[in-house]
Every structure is written in structure tokens, then in C-alpha cells.
């Protein structure tokens, strides 16, 4: 380590405990969640991951829990959301950086920023009140009627609260975040490449396609970060996914995600012996999944930035 003057040393060592403390604190949250989840893991073992059941009972022997449905539901809804986010944010990046005049592009950017900071409960409310009935009547019903032979469209849409609605709202809410990352990355590409390709007579689209190709690892990293965001989102999902404990791959069915299960069951879980530990077990799985994904995403972003700078 390079060292500095004496007073710099003092500064370094006086802030160090705080930094270590914060790191330790974050670690504590993870360990604490694992510790709280332990009874449930011990009691139900692998059943926790392969069954889908929520049966609290006053007698602990009768209690049975399985988190397969919400766990798969979480992954499923976030994957769908990410698949919707990608085209939206790529199109926004293209429009803002290359197509639109500076002024209009700037305006669009402000709109995106506003959307990015909007409280998620507003998105949730909008999804539940406006989007769910609209999707049911104009999208789900026709899809079910004409394409019902495809398994993911095979179930009859009833309330509109469904995996599809939740993923769509999640996508709308997370797109600004991914777009901001993509624009940041796109602007980091050295301008000599852009000048080069334009000199060869490429059209705007061809130039963007080529430059965006350079961005590929960055796009993957941004999608991972968006995915991890969607995975942990509670409010939107709890208001739009229908909160039903049922394993489903059909996008018109209601189901649960881990956060929505926690939000809806946590208050009453304290009454039963294994309900709370099971919720903590779900939380722990989610925590592991999202922190690993975030970590990989951030590492990839940094690696790409380092490479492009040289």
C-alpha cells in the first residue's frame, strides 16, 4: 500500500473502523437471516424447495411449508420482466443518444429519470387498477382464445392479476434503471470508433448496431442488475401478481413471489412455530440469489469499463 503523510494516516485509520463496520453490518444481515431460517431448513429439508404448500397450524407437527412455487414464481416473473426490459431500454438508448435532436432527447431522458425515481407503490397501484383489467380484456383473452394451445397461454385469465401483469409492471418500473446504465456505457465508447464507421458511410442504424456490439458484455451486466432489482421488488408484485400459493408456468395465472409471500404472510407468521423461519428461509434464498447476481453484474460492468478505457 502506498502511504501518505502522518495526518493522512490518521484520517485513514479513523474512517477505517466505520468502513469495516458497514461491511460487517451487511454481512450480519445475511448471517442473521440464515440463522433465523435454520429451524425451517432443519425441519423440512429439501421439501422446502420442491413442494408448494403453505399450511400453518397451531400444532407444529401439522405445519407444512414448501417454497417451490414462490421461488420459481420470483425467477419466472423477473426473467419475463428482463426480457421486456431489454428491447425497451435498447430502443430508448438508441433514441436518446443517436436519433432524437439533443433537446427532445434531453426531455426524454428527464422523463426516464422521473420514472426511475417514482415510488414503486404508484406503479403497483397503476398495475392493479389500470393495467390488470386492460390486459385481461384486450391481451389475455384474445391470446388465450387464439393461441391457447401454447402451454404458457393455456389457462383462462380470470382477474387480470397474473404473472404477466406483474412482469410487465416490473419491466416498466425497472427500464429507467437499465436505460441509465446502457446510456452511460454507450457514451463511454471512444468516439474514434463512431467516427470511423460513419466515415465508411454507414447509416445511423448500422453505426448503432456495430457500436452496440461492443457493448455486449455491458448489456448482459445491466440486464443482470435489472433482473436482481426485479427479483427483490415487493410492492409492485404484491399488488399485481394475485398472491396465490400455486405453482404455475402459465402467464395468466396468479401466483406468488418470495417478496409477495413475505409481505402477505409476515404479520401472522409469528403465531406459528415454523412459519416465520420459513419466510426467513425464502428471504435467505432471495438474498443469496440477488446478491450473487448483483455482484457478478457489477464486476462485469467494471471489467468492461476498464477495458474500454485503454
Partner 1 sequence: MFRSYFIRKLKNYLMLSLAIFVSVLAVIPLFSMLYMVIVEGGKVLLDAGLSFITELPPTPLSSSIGGVAPALLGSVLASTLAIAISGPIAFLVAFFVTEFKNSSFSKISEVVVRSFSGIPSIIVSMFVYSTVVMRMGTQSLFAGSLSLAIVALPYAYVYFTSAMKSIPESLREAAMSLGMSRFKALRYVYVGVSKKYILTGILMSYIKAFGETAPLLFTMGFLMNSVFAGFLQPSNALPILVFIYALSPYEVFHKVAWGATLLLIIIYLVLFSLARSLLKGVKL
Within 132-191, the residues that bind partner 1 by CB under 8 A are: 172, 175
Of the CA atoms within 13 Å of residue 82, those in its CB half-sphere come to: 19
Ranges of H-type helices in 233-274? 235-240, 258-269
Three-point CA angle 179, 77, 113, nearest 5°: 25
- Asked if 83 contacts 251 with a C-beta cutoff of 8 angstroms, the reply is no
213 lies in the binding site for partner 1 (CB under 8 A): no
What binding mask, one character per residue, do residues 42-61 give for partner 1 by CB under 8 A, x or -? Answer: --------------------
Give dist(CA 153, CA 98) in Å, integer.
37
Taking the complex as a whole, the smallest distance from the CB of residue 62 to partner 1 amounts, in Å, to: 25
Helix (H, G, I), strand (E, B) or coil at 299: helix
| Cβ-based nearer residue to partner 1, 43 or 240 | 240
Taking the complex as a whole, the smallest distance from the CB of residue 56 to partner 1 amounts, in Å, to: 17
| Cβ-based nearer residue to partner 1, 57 or 129 | 129
271 lies in the binding site for partner 1 (CB under 8 A): no
Give dist(CA 134, CA 139) in Å, integer.
8
DSSP class of residue 162 equals S
262 lies in the binding site for partner 1 (CB under 8 A): yes
Taking the complex as a whole, the smallest distance from the CB of residue 79 to partner 1 amounts, in Å, to: 16
Chain positions 5 to 34 lying near partner 1, rule: CB under 8 A, are 5, 7-8, 10-12, 15-16, 18-20, 22-23, 26, 29, 32-33
299 lies in the binding site for partner 1 (CB under 8 A): yes
Chain positions 98 to 117 lying near partner 1, rule: CB under 8 A, are 99-100, 108, 110-115, 117
Q: What's the alpha-carbon Rg for the chain, to the nearest Å? A: 23
29: phi then psi, degrees, rounded to nearest 5: -60, -45
| Cβ-based nearer residue to partner 1, 145 or 203 | 203
Amino acid at each position: 500500500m502506498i502511504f501518505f503523510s502522518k495526518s493522512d494516516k490518521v484520517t485513514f485509520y479513523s474512517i477505517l473502523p466505520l468502513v469495516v463496520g458497514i461491511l460487517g453490518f451487511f454481512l450480519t444481515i445475511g448471517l442473521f437471516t440464515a440463522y433465523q431460517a435454520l429451524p425451517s431448513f432443519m425441519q423440512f429439508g429439501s421439501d422446502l424447495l420442491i413442494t408448494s404448500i403453505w399450511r400453518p397450524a397451531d400444532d407444529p407437527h401439522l405445519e407444512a411449508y414448501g417454497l417451490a412455487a414462490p421461488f420459481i414464481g420470483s425467477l419466472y416473473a423477473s426473467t419475463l420482466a428482463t426480457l421486456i426490459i431489454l428491447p425497451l431500454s435498447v430502443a430508448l438508448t438508441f433514441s436518446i443518444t443517436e436519433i432524437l435532436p439533443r433537446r427532445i432527447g434531453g426531455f426524454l431522458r428527464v422523463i426516464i429519470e422521473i420514472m426511475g425515481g417514482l415510488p414503486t407503490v404508484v406503479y403497483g397501484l397503476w398495475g392493479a387498477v389500470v393495467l390488470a383489467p386492460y390486459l385481461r380484456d384486450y391481451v389475455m383473452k384474445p391470446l388465450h382464445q387464439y393461441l391457447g394451445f401454447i402451454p404458457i397461454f393455456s389457462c383462462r385469465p380470470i382477474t387480470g392479476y397474473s404473472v404477466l401483469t406483474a412482469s410487465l409492471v416490473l419491466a416498466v418500473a425497472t427500464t429507467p434503471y437499465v436505460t441509465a446504465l446502457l446510456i452511460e456505457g454507450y457514451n463511454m465508447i471512444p468516439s474514434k470508433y463512431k467516427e470511423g464507421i460513419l466515415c465508411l458511410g454507414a447509416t445511423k442504424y448500422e453505426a448503432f448496431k456495430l457500436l452496440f456490439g461492443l457493448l455486449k458484455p455491458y448489456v448482459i451486466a445491466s440486464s443482470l442488475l435489472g433482473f436482481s432489482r426485479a427479483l427483490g421488488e415487493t410492492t409492485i408484485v404484491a399488488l399485481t401478481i394475485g398472491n396465490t400459493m400455486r405453482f404455475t408456468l402459465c402467464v395468466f395465472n396468479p401466483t406468488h413471489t418470495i417478496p409477495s409471500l413475505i409481505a402477505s404472510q409476515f404479520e401472522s407468521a409469528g403465531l406459528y412455530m415454523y412459519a416465520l423461519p420459513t419466510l426467513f428461509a425464502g428471504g435467505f434464498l432471495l438474498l443469496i440469489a440477488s446478491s450473487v447476481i448483483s455482484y457478478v453484474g457489477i464486476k462485469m460492468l467494471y471489467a468492461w469499463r476498464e477495458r474500454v478505457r485503454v
